[in-house]
A and B are shown apart, each in its own frame.
Chain A
């Protein structure tokens, strides 16, 4: 029972980490119809920038701010120059292929810069240690991750549902051309959301590094999990990303505990079931086009 509870909490941690990834992926897709295959590489880049800052300045909190800013600016640049100016809005498939090319280059350059070894990153010293919850000693850092994920979800939800900008984004997901016709600079909104999404990937990289370490190849693993989350949750909605992340995080963690040999098979089964029953995902805002 205690072990089950522990796995449940670990599943929540994984779910929250996935949420930070999947929220960006899902928002970008919802608005721009582009699935950003560089998202995993941005996660890894964020993590490594965090690693460098933690090693040189020994400041985890600074990394938490700087890495998303750097990677977010990179995202802004990519969106502005390539996705919009050179590829144009209508070439969705080419845009996706482009992000795949960028992912190849990014992972290769990351390997050149930070090497191919597994790097472990210490969490912040303030969050070291363990706390007793419901009769088990749970690492404080993991608990903080759960709280952080929930707060971030709440903040994003308030932003999307309760602010004017959020309303514009929701309208853009529904019909970008109409929003543009109403005199709103939708290009700016696109750029902003793309930057926000990539910054979230980098943020996930920084907070995830103390749990999962950093190594080449992690980018793919994270990307695939985030893709499964958005397939299961449905693209373009925050609720979909949130509940999809929880479901996949829990399924993956419990799967690893119960059937170590087929851990990934459980997620696979969840995804297959969702595809059969609800091809647009549990909370799909859009038809699966």
Chain B
């Protein structure tokens, strides 16, 4: 035990001293990764990146604004549906284009609008009430996705989503190999990461933290806290939509399962295990949960129990997640 804690301290010191170097090292590793691994691990990395993106978007709500949404999968699923509706070869879909320069902005606009409308209702509540209401809303949209089969394909979903392309005029590039798709996801992920870093370091980001700590005080100072929360909710929804769109491209299908409340729960687990209120937390959490799930499922059918146990242990003993463990903080900042 003493040995372990000494080693942990060593790791903490190293991490604290060489943060920048660590980021650069991880970036380099991420870029050469496809050159050294087998297909299976490449697919795994793509999934981890997509879910890390999804978890980061939730972190803006949970970790910064203090909004515990249990319905975030709505935007993830909706992003996938919008993309599939635009690009899928399925006869229910529009079969319009798979050009990311057109589809991604439409996904962002669509999910942002949905978030704004849902936000009008759910942002009237706070805390655990907010959690319940987002959960209920999410589940309602799930049942709409299931029953409105003429548009959504019902429980089959919309299959036949092709790999994306980027094109201007006659020039275009199709991301049809797994490697190229990995790089696409990586670049989108890094862009979102950079964007979120800018957001949380901005005055807007600090206002969100203020709302998390004491909303009444910020109201008294003259901040329109509803508007701030709404902007955060819309941004988070749109980014989750982007993650969902990438997932639809990767698996070739938009399915109602992506909207199910346990998906909201899964991404919540990733975020809590990784550490809320940081941007590295969601990445670590997504990687850990996804790897745990993939490796455990080859040994036991009860991998869900295992994931649940790990989650519970983190909630009880390390509420600041992996990032908290590595940096030496254990208590969640409430």
Q: Show the binding face of A for B, using Cβ within 8 Å.
A: 29, 33-35, 82, 86-87, 91-94, 96-98, 100-102, 104-105, 107-109, 112, 220, 224, 227-228, 230-231, 235, 261-265, 267-268, 271-272, 275-276, 279, 288-289
Contact = CB atoms under 8 A, between A and B. Distances in A.
Contacts of A100: 265, 268, 311
Contact of B124 (A107, A112, A288): A288
A35 B127 CA distance: 11
Nearest to B132: A227
Interface of B, helix, strand, loop or mixed by DSSP? helix
25 contacts: A35-B131, A82-B316, A87-B316, A92-B127, A93-B128, A93-B334, A96-B131, A97-B268, A98-B312, A100-B311, A104-B265, A104-B308, A105-B305, A105-B308, A108-B304, A108-B305, A220-B261, A224-B139, A231-B129, A235-B129, A262-B147, A271-B136, A271-B140, A275-B124, A276-B121
Contact of A264 (B140, B260, B269, B308): B140
B129 A101 contact: no
List 10 tightest A-B contacts by C-beta distance, closest first: A104-B308, A105-B308, A264-B143, A268-B140, A101-B312, A108-B304, A224-B139, A288-B129, A101-B311, A279-B124
A109 B125 CA distance: 34
Contacts of A224: 135-136, 139, 261
B126 to A, nearest CB: 6
Contact of A94 (B125, B304, B309, B315): B315
A35 B136 CA distance: 13
Interface in B18-72: 68
A227 B265 contact: no
Contacts of B309: 101, 105
Contacts of B133: 231, 271, 275
A257 to B, nearest CB: 15
Interface string B1-24: 000000000000000000000000
Contacts of A227: 132, 135-136
A288 B144 CA distance: 27
A79 to B, nearest CB: 14
Interface in B286-334: 301-302, 304-305, 307-309, 311-312, 315-316, 319, 332, 334
A262 B260 CA distance: 17
Given A105-B308, A262-B144, A231 B265 contact: no
Interface in B94-151: 121-122, 124-129, 131-133, 135-137, 139-140, 143-144, 147-148
B90 interface: no
B315 A97 contact: yes
Contacts of B315: 87, 94, 97-98, 101
B320 to A, nearest CB: 11
A289 B68 CA distance: 12
A272 B4 CA distance: 52
A261 B154 CA distance: 11
B305 A288 contact: no
B280 interface: no
Contacts of A112: 301-302
A268 B262 CA distance: 19
A86 B124 contact: no
A57 B301 CA distance: 31
